[in-house]
Amino acid sequence: MILQRLKLDDYYGQGRYTKREPPNPEPFYAHLQSHLEAEWRKWVHRNQEERQIRMMADGEISRWTRQARFEWGRRQHEEVMAGARPVPQGIGLSDVLPDPKGA
């Protein structure tokens, strides 16, 4: 007498394979210029939630309320103006960086 070893899939699925559907196609708007621009505008906010959680875990802030954000930004600004932090590069730094036009 020959004993056959049953595979688990054969035992429970009675030899049938599970249905495998093809992946969903990309939406029609995936490569439109307006959609790509909207995705590009959202890129700057990609890690905000993780950063807020990390700051609360590290004790930099107690709660990430509007007032806490304001105070944190004010402290960062004071440290930059005092020279304790390097100057960040970006927009809206008119009181830190001199005007290139000399005005």
Q: Is residue 63 part of a domain?
A: yes
Per-residue pLDDT, 2: 57
Q: Is residue 76 part of a domain?
A: yes
Q: Is residue 40 part of a domain?
A: yes
**Domain, as residue range, for 66:** 33-82
Three-state SS letters, the chain: CCCCCCCHHHHHHCCCCCCCCCCCCCCCCCCCHHHHHHHHHHHHHCCHHHHHHHHHHHCCCCCCCHHHHHHHHHHHHHHHHHCCCCCCCCCCCCCCCCCCCCC
Per-residue pLDDT, 56: 85
Q: Is residue 57 part of a domain?
A: yes
Q: What is the pLDDT of residues 36-62, one digit of tens each?
A: 999 999 888 888 888 888 888 888 777
Per-residue pLDDT, 93: 55
Q: Is residue 4 part of a domain?
A: no
Q: What is the pLDDT of residues 60-94, one digit of tens each?
A: 777 778 888 888 889 988 998 888 888 776 666 55
Q: Residue 36: which of 26, 24, 47 has the closest Cα?
A: 26
Q: Is residue 99 part of a domain?
A: no
Q: Is residue 44 part of a domain?
A: yes
Q: Which two tokens stand for residue 5?
A: 């070893």
Per-residue pLDDT, 38: 92
**How many structural domains are present in the chain?**
1
Is pLDDT at 102 greater than 70 in this prediction? Answer: no
Q: Is residue 47 part of a domain?
A: yes
